[in-house]
Structure 1
Amino acid sequence: MYEDSNRFAVAPMMDWTDRHCRVFHRLLTRRALLYTEMVTTGAVLHGDRERLLGFSEIEKPLACQLGGSDPDDLARAARIVEDWGYDEVNLNVGCPSDRVQSGRIGACLMLEPDLVADCVAAMKATVSIPVTVKCRIGVDDQDPELGLDRVADAVVAAGTDALWVHARKAWLKGLSPKENRDVPPLDYERVYRLKRRLPQVWIGINGGIANLDEAEAHLAHVDGVMLGRAAYHDPGILAAVDTRLYGEEGEPRDLLAAVETLLPYIEGELARGARLSHVTRHILGLFQGVPGARKWRRILSSEAVKPGAGVEVIRMALEELGGEPLDTDAQMRDRQDVAFACARP
């Protein structure tokens, strides 16, 4: 059975959960399952795999989400994903954007459960890592009772290891992807009913979950909880995941220490040609509710985009929080416990 250790995950989010975001999130939680942005099978098969699939070992456990609808292509892409060292491959059956619909990817596949099952079966026959599915409760005027059951039953029969359900319908026409994350009403009870009907199947829930109190409440009904925008905009939430949801002893992760540990990674990325803003855009919301947080965001937003900006910008922003200055660059490089953060396969 899919591992209970995956009871909390950070959702795959286009343009957000890139490798820099994932490294940062991992410094806040050792246990959460992290996901890549969705990557299409065509990109995996024919694109720049280092750019698309490359990751730092610190990010694991790590799942790769694939978008596609051709079973053979998905099987080939899943094998590549496994060869790159990912811990799981996930099939996107939930993205509502016009761009992916035109490629027969995402939420439109809710209308083709047999095809989704064929895709899952092809991947399962090819890889040894878990194959999972992330879907909606339905699309458009589809009855969510019938629509979700048909997809769930199909992928379970095909051997899926877990099913993550975003507890909203997706509207394929008339709503933008952003509106599809807010406008269709949430129906958590529908996901709970699915779990009661399929008690032997690992089922996780996603959609509109704002904090760990809500996550704990959901875990009374389903096997896993996935946070998306809440974890991204207020990543400090993640600092308490290991203690609250996994029962680890001790205090939540220290946010200042997480930033300090991130600095060698950032220096390594800058040396490879990245801009500081490529990383700092993911840490803007870290100090929600902390005095000086507005200045923190302002400094990072205005200074990190400048050519040649380095980690001194982050130190300057941290001083606005009233904390002690961080170690010097030389001292940071001497910290052996963070050296691994700069490594890549």
Structure 2
Amino acid sequence: MSPAPRFSVVCPTYNRSGALVPTLDSVRAQSFPDWELLVVSDGSTDDTDDVVRAAAAEDPRIRLVRAPRHGHPSGPRMIGLAGARGEFAAYLDHDDTWRADHLRVLLTAFEAGADLVATGCERRDAAGAVTSRSDLLEVVWHPEIQLLGPVFEPSRVAHRRPLAEEAGGWRAGDGLEDWDLWLRMADRGLRFTTVHEHTAFLLDDSGTRRHRTVRRHRLPLAVHDDPRRARETLLRLRSGAYDEEFRRAYVADTVDWYARMERTPDFVRPTGHRGDLGPEIEARARRAGELWPDLVVVPDRGRFLVAQLLWCPTAEHARRVTELSARVQTRQLALLAEIAESTAREPEPVTG
């Protein structure tokens, strides 16, 4: 058997056919050549396996791993990891690609002592047009940032190979499985090293599985006894009338939060960055669309919640998000409470 490569790249796929070729080619084009690519076909029923076999015939570093149908990428990723031989594991989803120096950028971070690395990214639509690029704040990391929101899609991440399995591995289920794994790794004391360079190119399309994930957990924002009052609060939040106040509250809350995190040893800036994050926070607030997206009204033990849907995979994770939000979004939540209270104080409409 040939010596173990430095990188094992795990790519789960299902019925991708010839559309998989750019993904495979982006690995074959890497300037750092010491890798193996395990393409785990999740019970594909089209010619995906033949496409991978043809690529493997041209490049023996590519391996097809045939798996029974899981219907979720976590199972194939675990199968890939079980067959991997590399020192480092990197992930590449079947509709994403990499810049030619992606693995070399990761290797530089690992050789400097990193255990877990994430890079910046570009998001592109199906036609290849860039829809967004990760900004500086997307590669600033802290365990609280990891807890509060989903960061780092799999195609941006690599780690020393045993670490995922030591944290319990990839798990299927509701919610975002990458958020779940990175959080469990963080809970074990692992810390991301981040790189601002945009070396991963991600498909930005409403048809991807990330956009179809069922969100069963919620962040409570306001409570009413009457469903009509709850719906009125929701409509006021969506109206845009309070957007400027919320943006100011967002900036103040976030500046305070980052300043507190920055005083801890767990705060991670992207490699080489030492500047002030305040302007980045201001810029994000200006760019933000809805500040409270995905709002719903739901019954809860005889009352009615105005709540935000969460991508959390477990109820325990959602509970932790709720607790941390109460500590770090104080101004925003206070403003929201004022709006809900003013709605509750309004007289009932007169009906004839």
Same fold (TM over 0.5): no
Q: TM-score, normalised by structure 2?
A: 0.26
Q: TM-score, normalised by structure 1?
A: 0.27
Structure with max Cα Rg: 2
More helix by share: 1
